[in-house]
Amino acid sequence: MAAQAMPQAVVAQPMPAQAMAQPSMASEGPSMMGWAAVGLIAMALLLSVVAQFNGTWLSGEDDGGLQINSGLSSVTYDCSGIDDEANQSICISTSAYLSTPMDETPPENSTEMVHKGTQAGACDRFEELTVNMATALSGGNQSVIDEATSAAADAKAECMISVEAGSKGSTWLWIGTVLALVCTVMAVLPKVGVNALPSVVTDNARWGNMLAGVVIVLAVLLWRGALPDDPDSVMGASFGVYIAVVAGIMAIASGVLEVLDGRSGQA
């Protein structure tokens, strides 16, 4: 009897390694919304720096044609709008005097139309100028001099309120600028493939963007709230204020875009 062939066990053939491997999904790069958020926080950083050094947070022109621009710490006098030659000459000499630091000698025959100095220096010079004029016109009457000295001291105290307001606004604006700088770095690094920061930091950078924007806007509000109330003042908000507000809004919008980008990535 012929031997029957033993049934061969079916041995599973090993699958090629390439067939076993699961196709890997290509890592997705930063979205357009993410890059837009980076652009906004970077622009907010730039504008906050511009606002810090902008010399026109307040601007105005008096009835005589004198144009005054003041920043957070600076003040600029422009006499070019005065038509009368005599009044323009007085404006130039007075502006040159007010713009000269206390440790320097004011120019005697300045012909420049525009003079720029510090607000604190202008307050000191205004007090000095008032006392000197009162002394020269008093005819030696001490009571007149004392009255003028007291009035000049009161005027300087009110003037220094604006200086303190500018200092407060500048401090908070610098805080917002530093926050915007940190947030810009944290936003850019992961998007260019640099994972030097913990994920918990980069994942929550969006809240830092919003915080930077809030602080920048808060700087404007604190500055405005600290200014003295003068219904007769010709000064009004100018470019520096608008630049700072736009910077704050951009930083907040950047954080909002980061939040939306994160939600769309999880969907």
Is 25 inside any structural domain? Answer: no
Tokens standing for residue 22: 């699961």
Domain range holding 214?
33-266
Q: 89 vs 60, 100, 109, 133, 137, CA distance in Å?
A: 20, 17, 9, 17, 21
Is 136 inside any structural domain? Answer: yes
158: CB partners within 8 A, 6+ apart: 228
Is 201 inside any structural domain? Answer: yes
Is 17 inside any structural domain? Answer: no
Is 243 inside any structural domain? Answer: yes
pLDDT tens-place string over residues 197-216: 666 566 667 788 999 999 99
Report residues of the chain scoring pLDDT below 50: 1-12, 15, 17-27, 267
Is 8 inside any structural domain? Answer: no
Residue type at 258 in one-letter notation: E
132: CB partners within 8 A, 6+ apart: none
Do the beta carbons of residue 235 and residue 224 sit within 8 Å?
Answer: no
Is 5 inside any structural domain? Answer: no
DSSP letter at 18?
Answer: H
Q: Within 13 Å and on the Cβ side, how many CA atoms surround 133?
A: 10
Q: What is the dihedral sign for C-alpha 180, 186, 190, 194? A: positive
The pLDDT value recorded for residue 118 is 96
Tokens standing for residue 116: 């720029």
Is 236 inside any structural domain? Answer: yes
| Cβ atoms within 10 Å of 263's Cβ, excluding its own | 9
The pLDDT value recorded for residue 169 is 97
The pLDDT value recorded for residue 48 is 97
Tokens standing for residue 124: 């000191």
Which ranges in 100-204 belong to alpha helices (H)?
119-137, 142-191, 199-203
The pLDDT value recorded for residue 152 is 92
pLDDT tens-place string over residues 111-153: 999 999 999 999 999 999 999 998 888 787 888 889 999 999 9
Do the beta carbons of residue 93 and residue 75 sit within 8 Å?
Answer: no
Tally of domains within the chain: 1
pTM for this one? 0.81
